[in-house]
Chains A and B, each alone.
Chain A
Amino acid sequence: MVSGGGPAELGDLPLEQVRTAALERAAALGCSHAEVRVERLRSQFVALRDGRVETTVDDTEVGVGLRVVRRGSIGFAATVDLHPDAAAGLADEAAGLADATAAALGRPVELADEPPHGEVQWSSPYEVDPTTVAVADKVALLDDWSGRLLGAPGVDHVAARVLAVVEDKHFADLTGTVTTQRRVRVFPVVEVVGVDEGSGTFESMRTLAPPVGRGWEYTAGAGWDWDAELDQLPSLLTEKMAAPSVEAGTFDLVIDPSNLWLTIHESVGHATELDRALGYEAAYAGTSFATVDQLGSLRYGSPVMHVVGDRTTPHGLATVGYDDEGVAGQSFDIVRDGVLVGYQLDRRMAVDNGFPRSNGCAFADSPLHVPIQRMANVSLQPAPGPGPGPTTEDLVSGVDRGVYVMGDKSWSIDMQRHNFQFTGQRFYRIEGGRLAGQLRDVAYQAQTTEFWGSLEAVGGASTYVLGGAMNCGKGQPGQVAPVSHGCPSALFRGIRVLNTRDEASR
């Protein structure tokens, strides 16, 4: 049944013929497992620079991909040709590739069991399919937003852009699970730039509005107050241009959800992917310090740290009904009371480490790519009740000398997820429990378990915001996944703060 906005629109494609041709041929070739995906991805991207159109993209990707397991070896083949004969041919190609690489197979592949789900449909909640909104109407919205900011004091340039995606996906495997799903997401961004030509420097200030699993209604105010945020950008930029450069040192940080989501993504989300912990990403994305021998014992952070992985959050970018291995979406603890208690799994990784069932984290970003383990919505929980829990102001009031961090900008973390460095959109000095104006040139740098160990308090549910990214990269060939991360404001004690201008000097 459809639980959300509207059904996938794949009715014009020969779904049944394609999936039957591929699966029957795979079965005839003796494959122990076969799963086929037929997808249509509609993507529109519009970018304006200083109120003039710079880029428009209006793209439709269709294709079919088939993954098989034959004699313990995996083969994947895919094509944009949706003729049933081509789909049957994929089975021969995939099985042939499985055979060809069997010579270099160290041990046979197994997949964790998943009960068949029959024929099911699912959709993410949305009101207006954003790809039914004409490109010209998207341009008109961004033009309106740009026009409000161009000419404002201190604003020299305005960039406005929006990405909208509708992902329609039909999946079937040899056990009889047949899913048809639609996911809708949009990401509008506005950035203002101020230039100080005399000194040859410049600064920018960007909206904090996150990408969301919603329709075009998001741009009209469903879930975000765009007018309020756009109104503030010029004065925030002007204040940043005039702000003093930070003095490098050790500070207490109050981190806003608009920045903390990305720190969670990098230092918790990726570190608790089981494929990384087991070494399957050793050559590319990397491994993890959170090795499986420490499951249940690793002190990840302070006792107030509770992190949940889920593929069920409303409007979450990683939310699904069923994943790309036919596993139902689930919710599970990753860090509880500051201790590592769970990993994100796909069916292969689950078997590899003795888990009875996958928790539904397989995803392929295209019908032409093989599903791999990708991130669930990994979220830091707010302070539990009873009571509302601390506000952001409450957290700030507990800091004598610190920095309040808002908005994400630059990010980097090492290949085992220890050492990270982040910047942000804006930073405020905290003095004696109060905000005391913006600072420039700030970056914070820490080691993951030390950082989370210094987490003294999380804000209450009123501070909780679902942030996220459209473009998380992983795998070879590279795949891009959308994912959300919710979190409250949070207080960290004694974090290293760098001055980025000092870092650049000789």
Chain B
Amino acid sequence: MSMSPPHEVVERALAASRSDGCTVIVEDVSQAEVRFANNTTTTNGMRRDRRVVVVSFRLVPGAPAAPVGAAPTAVGVASASGDVDVEELVRTSEGEAARAGPAPDAAPLVDPSGPPGGGGGFDDPPVLTSPAVLDGVIRGLGDAFARARSAGNLIAGFATHGVESVYLGTSAGLRRRHVQPAGTMELVARSADGRRSVWSGAGSSSFDDIDVYAFEERLDRRLGWAHRQVELPAGRYEVLLPPDATADLMVSLSEAMSGRDAEEGRSPFSAAGGGTKVGEPLCPMPFELRGDPAEPGLECSPFLTTGASGTDVSVFDNGLPVGATRWIERGTLRRLRYHRAAAGRAGVDPAPPVGNLVLTLPGASRTLEDMIASTERGLLLTCLWYIREVDPVTLLLTGLTRDGVYLVERGEVVGAVNNFRFNESPLEVLAKAVEAGCTERALSREWGEWMNRTAMPALRVADFNMSSVSPAT
């Protein structure tokens, strides 16, 4: 590649800056993927991406001081991809800062003396993936397609691996680098008549732990379960959510945890009469919902980078250390997301988003298999799909079951059931949970493309609201 090393781009931009403060982010991405369907590969790609973000800060003399003690500051943000003309990008962001008023999220640039975080040195080159990472998968797929053809099945899916190398520098002297590998493998097997369909997915940072044959075995077992088909009506059922389905719901829950929305009375975490529900119990079981950059196997960036401010994140906070954050502890709401300025106004600690999400029930050790074995009658789900918020007051979500609903009777799977549309709130799911299993790595099928690092328990939930039948298979 003929482009400049990322750390040089950061330094050149900072040197070109004429503003009162400047933050520069370079995100360098290397990605490879194989997509397949109908027992053949379909689109196979690789790409090199790089985005440079320049944030310029301008002090606004005479404006009222920001509540958190930051000098009133205007901000301009500009970004571009490729071998960027850094000078032009800096001037663009400065031009925007020149015409902007004081930013409501103003806060001092992050102190560079904190823990460095990230791996390697700031001057190290970006880390690249290679199509070779997927060689084992491609070989395995060739065999899997042949077996599927002879069994009368169709396989579809996607395998992708990428590495994002992030470089962050500020005019306050902060320099950070973080390398984030991430991968996903998803496989769907369908009977040729389309009546039976099963899914298995996994997140992986290296693909060393991905074995296509093991995926096939899981899917074959479930296709076997589906030889007996049972039609059940809409209604309220006891369900077993496998860790992947729990992840679908908990990621939705996590995205609703805006501190500011809650304070303004427009969130499921707003307390009646004003204020937030922080400190209130949410569920009878002592669940813990956390993010932690040091979570084994789910490691993610120990500092914040963002190219755009939002309700709960701020470009002023770039470089802010991200630590272990317990959003829910012993079933009680403990934290909501805040950038520093909003946290200062609310009198709480800032809580930036964390790049992973873990739900645990302390002491839980049973597997999903154990939980099936102790089920008198219930529905075992596989994953959820097309999840959308219906009512933000209750965080009511709708969506579908997909690629595998099974009837469990007296401890055994006795057949496959039609799909359902559900209407449920993840808050209600936690409140109605009567059992949780051990926490293991899980992949949300709905949200996994951008929240790949989750670990969840299987949940047994009473009275899960299946609103109507879906004839989809």
Contact = CB atoms under 8 A, between A and B. Distances in A.
Contacts of A80: 3, 48-50, 81-83
Contacts of B402: 414-415
B44 A58 contact: no
A56 B306 CA distance: 12
Contact of B390 (A60, A134, A423, A478): A423
B352 to A, nearest CB: 16
A286 B194 CA distance: 12
Interface string A51-70: 01111111111110100000
Interface string B295-310: 0000000000001111
Contacts of A503: 390, 396, 423, 465, 467
Contact of B463 (A107, A196, A498, A506): A506
Given A86-B2, A105-B40, A157-B264, A477 B160 contact: yes
Nearest to A48: B104
Contacts of A504: 391, 394, 396, 423, 425, 428
Contacts of A97: 32, 44-46, 131
A370 B43 contact: yes
Contact of B468 (A78, A107, A370, A419): A419
Contacts of A103: 138-139, 142
Contacts of A47: 310
Interface residues of A, number: 95
B277 to A, nearest CB: 9
Contact of B264 (A78, A82, A195, A500): A195
Nearest to A72: B40
A103 to B, nearest CB: 5
Interface string A140-164: 0000000000000000110000000
A410 B390 contact: yes
A309 to B, nearest CB: 23
Contacts of A289: 471-472
Interface of B: 1-3, 31-51, 75-83, 92-93, 95-96, 99-101, 103-105, 131, 135, 138-139, 141-142, 145, 149, 154, 156-158, 160, 186-188, 190, 194, 197, 199, 264-266, 270-274, 307-311, 385-394, 396, 398-400, 402, 419, 421, 423, 425, 428, 432, 449, 463, 465, 467-473
A410 B154 contact: no
18 contacts: A56-B76, A58-B92, A74-B41, A78-B47, A79-B48, A100-B44, A105-B41, A106-B39, A202-B270, A280-B37, A282-B197, A412-B388, A414-B385, A415-B400, A419-B468, A421-B398, A477-B449, A503-B396
Contacts of A411: 388
Contact of B142 (A104, A134, A156, A279): A104
B99 A370 contact: no
B421 A421 contact: yes
Given A281-B37, A283-B186, A477 B50 contact: no
Interface centre among A85, A278, A498 (most CB of B within 10 A): A498
A392 interface: no
B472 A478 contact: no
Listed from nearest, the 3 A-B pairs whose CB atoms lie closest are A106-B40, A200-B272, A136-B99
A279 B38 contact: yes
A54 B310 CA distance: 6
B465 A52 contact: no
A100 B131 contact: yes
A45 B51 CA distance: 17
B44 A75 contact: yes
Contact of B400 (A78, A195, A199, A412): A412
Contacts of A62: 80-82
A34 B218 CA distance: 39
A416 interface: yes
A117 interface: no
B1 A86 contact: yes
A476 B43 CA distance: 9
A15 B394 CA distance: 53
B309 A412 contact: no
Interface string A397-415: 0000000000000111111
Given A97-B46, A414-B386, A197 B265 contact: yes
Interface of A: 45, 47, 49, 52-63, 65, 73-83, 85-86, 93, 96-98, 100-101, 103-107, 134-136, 139, 156-157, 193, 195-202, 278-284, 286-287, 289, 368-370, 372, 410-419, 421, 423, 441, 443, 445, 447, 476-478, 496, 498, 500-501, 503-504, 506
Given A60-B81, A283-B37, A504-B423, A445 B386 contact: no
Contacts of B467: 421, 445, 498, 503
Contact of A414 (B33, B51, B307, B470): B470
Nearest to B309: A55
A415 B385 contact: yes
Given A86-B1, A419-B468, A282 B156 contact: yes
A275 B149 CA distance: 20
A351 to B, nearest CB: 13
Interface centre among A82, A503, A506 (most CB of B within 10 A): A503
Given A53-B101, A57-B307, A96 B400 contact: no
A141 B396 CA distance: 34
Given A56-B96, A414-B470, A501 B391 contact: yes
B42 A201 contact: no
B35 A476 contact: yes
B34 to A, nearest CB: 6
Nearest to A96: B131
A195 B131 contact: no
A101 B78 contact: no
Nearest to A140: B99
Nearest to B35: A476
Interface centre among B44, B139, B386 (most CB of A within 10 A): B44
A24 B95 CA distance: 42
Nearest to A496: B468
A63 B2 CA distance: 14
A445 B32 CA distance: 40
Contacts of A419: 400, 421, 468-472
